[in-house]
């Protein structure tokens, strides 16, 4: 098994190649991993672990450049990617899988009943961070969030089960959309609450950064309530726990229309339009996808038009 390492946003990626990859394929995939890592580091400037284990496994199946990714939680944590190296670099960097999987590493696994939190954080940030990196436009990010919330709302076949009861049965019932997008709704709502109500420069970015600094390695955080209590500990206010207790009892994906409207995201015929102007909701929306205020060096925005 071939191996190697690259430095990505200050963290070492320990690479293992499974299956045979030519040198040029390896070079291309290293550029993709570099880009995905820098995009994920757009959360607050760094990745949450160092080193990070990356296993790249050759796949020939259909399903795009990265048909599947899976977080590795034991020993040295990281991600296993199944890749089809026949796709060009542009297809890899436009793909969201790697950003999604890397975001999982910012928090511990909260267990099956709270898998909606874990998938929600990764799904929320994959869109926000790809917009920050210029991989997709701000409008495209909101289009994807809007469409995802719609898929979550239409996934209503198990309306007799609360989100907490449905989460451990997600695979068996096929309720991926309601679980993923309820979690995404939760983190969007929490981020807006932090920025609007708590104020003082608070954002989900800053809470995750604080959490990684104080608590990521604390073994006693094993469920959603523990995780949300730790997030509240970072803020010094009860923001996450009350929202978490409400969400886990929901019997349907919440309607995000009113919140999107407040942020100046309007929808006409299924197509998102961003309202401009100086309102506080619009400013807040722009800050979400601006993040650190810089695009990736060498990559920033180069394929924005193509993807959009
Ligand atoms: Zn995931």
Read off the pLDDT of residues 236-272 as tens digits, 9 standing for 90 and up.
999 999 999 999 999 999 999 999 999 999 999 999 9
Separation CA 238–CA 201 (nearest Å): 16
Distance 290 CA to ligand 1 centre (A): 23
Average pLDDT over residues 197-218: 93
End-of-domain residue from the set 104, 135, 161:
104
The per-residue pLDDT for 304 is 36
Do 141 and 77 fall into the same domain? Answer: no
Ligand 1 centroid distance, CA of 182 (Å) = 13
Q: Are residues 63 and 147 in the same domain?
A: no
CB atoms within 10 A of CB 126: 24
Q: What is the pLDDT of residue 218?
A: 83
Q: What local confidence, expressed as pLDDT, does residue 307 receive?
A: 35
Question: How many angstroms separate the alpha carbon of residue 125 from the centre of ligand 1?
Answer: 11
Q: Does one domain contain both 242 and 150?
A: yes
- Residues 154, 270, single domain; the answer is yes
User: Is 153 among the domain residues?
Assistant: yes
Q: Do 131 and 28 share a domain, yes or no? A: no
Q: Strand 2-8 and strand 265-268: pairing?
A: unpaired
Residue 101 Cα to ligand 1 midpoint, Å, equals 6
If you average pLDDT over residues 268-292, what whole number do you get? 91
At residue 15, φ and ψ (nearest 5 deg) are: -95, 135
Contact between 126 and 136 (Cβ < 8 Å): no
The answer to whether residues 16 and 73 belong to one domain is yes
Residues 92 and 154 placed together within one structural domain of the fold: no
253 and 138 both lie in a single domain: yes
Asked if the structure places residue 306 within a domain, the reply is: no
User: Same structural domain for residues 203 and 268?
Assistant: yes
**Residue 288 pLDDT > 60:** yes
Ligand 1 centroid from CA 279, angstroms: 34
The answer to the question of residue 45 being in a domain is: yes
Please give the pLDDT value at position 254.
94
Domain span holding position 138? 112-292
Residue 65 has pLDDT above 60, yes or no: yes
Lowest mean pLDDT among 62-71, 162-171, 213-222: 213-222
Cα 119 to averaged position of ligand 1 atoms, centre (Å): 5
If asked whether residues 98 and 240 sit together in one domain, one would say: no
Q: Could you give the number of structural domains in the chain?
A: 2
Separation of 181 CA from ligand 1 center, angstroms?
11
What pLDDT is attached to residue 153? 97
The answer to whether residue 301 sits within a structural domain is no
Neighbours of 14 (CB within 10 A): 16
Q: Looking at the whole model, is its pTM more than 0.85?
A: yes
Q: Does residue 14 lie in a domain region?
A: yes
pLDDT over threshold 70, residue 300:
no
Let me know whether 135 and 251 are in one domain: yes
The CA 180 to ligand 1 mean position distance, Å, reads: 8
**Pick from 298, 306, 299, 287: nearest CA to 138:** 287
Distance, in Å, from the CA atom of 76 to the CA atom of 17, rounded to the nearest integer, reads: 16
Residue 200 in any domain: the answer is yes
Question: Per the domain annotation, does 117 fall within a domain?
Answer: yes
Residue 178 Cα to ligand 1 midpoint, Å, equals 14
Q: For residues 142 and 267, state if they share a domain.
A: yes
Neighbours of 28 (CB within 10 A): 18
82-125 per-position pLDDT tens digit: 999 999 999 999 999 999 999 999 999 999 999 999 999 999 99
Position 295 confidence tier, pLDDT thresholds 50, 70, 90 = very low
Cα–ligand 1 centroid distance for 113 (angstroms): 14
What is the phi/psi pair of residue 231, to 5°?
Answer: -60, -45
CATH for 54: 1.10.390.10
pLDDT of residue 1: 60
What spacing in Å lies between the alpha carbon of 100 and ligand 1's midpoint? 6
pLDDT for the residue numbered 308: 33
Domain boundary among 38, 69, 104: 104
Pick the more confident residue, 150 or 277: 150
Asked if the model's pLDDT at residue 294 lies above 70, the reply is no
Tell me what percent of the residues of the chain surpass a pLDDT of 70.
Answer: 94
């Amino acid at each position: 098994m071939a191996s190697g390492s690259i430095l990505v946003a200050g963290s070492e990626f320990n690479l293992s190649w499974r299956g045979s990859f030519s040198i040029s394929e390896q070079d291309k995939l290293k550029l993709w991993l570099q880009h995905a890592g820098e995009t994920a580091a757009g959360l607050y400037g760094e990745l949450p672990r160092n080193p990070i284990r990356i296993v790249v496994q050759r796949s020939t199946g259909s399903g795009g450049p990265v048909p599947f990714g899976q977080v590795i939680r034991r020993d040295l944590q990281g991600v296993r990617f199944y890749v089809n190296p026949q796709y060009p670099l542009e297809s890899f960097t436009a793909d969201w899988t790697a950003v999604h999987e890397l975001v999982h590493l910012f928090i511990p696994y909260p267990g099956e009943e709270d898998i909606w939190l874990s998938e929600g954080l990764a799904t929320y940030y994959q869109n926000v961070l790809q917009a920050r990196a210029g991989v997709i436009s701000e409008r495209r990010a909101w289009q994807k969030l809007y469409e995802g919330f719609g898929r979550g709302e239409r996934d209503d076949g198990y309306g007799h089960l609360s989100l907490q009861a449905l989460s451990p049965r997600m695979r068996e019932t096929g309720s991926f959309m309601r679980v993923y997008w309820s979690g995404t709704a939760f983190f969007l709502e929490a981020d807006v609450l932090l920025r609007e109500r708590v104020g003082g420069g608070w954002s989900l970015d800053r809470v995750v950064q604080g959490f990684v600094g104080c608590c990521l390695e604390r073994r006693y955080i094993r469920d959603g309530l523990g995780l949300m209590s730790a997030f509240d500990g970072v803020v010094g206010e009860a923001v996450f726990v009350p929202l978490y207790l409400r969400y886990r009892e929901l019997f349907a994906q919440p309607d995000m229309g009113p919140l999107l409207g407040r942020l100046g995201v309007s929808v006409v015929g299924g197509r998102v339009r961003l309202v401009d102007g100086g309102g506080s909701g619009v400013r807040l929306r722009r800050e979400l996808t601006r993040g650190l205020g810089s695009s990736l060096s060498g990559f920033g925005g180069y394929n924005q038009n193509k993807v959009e």
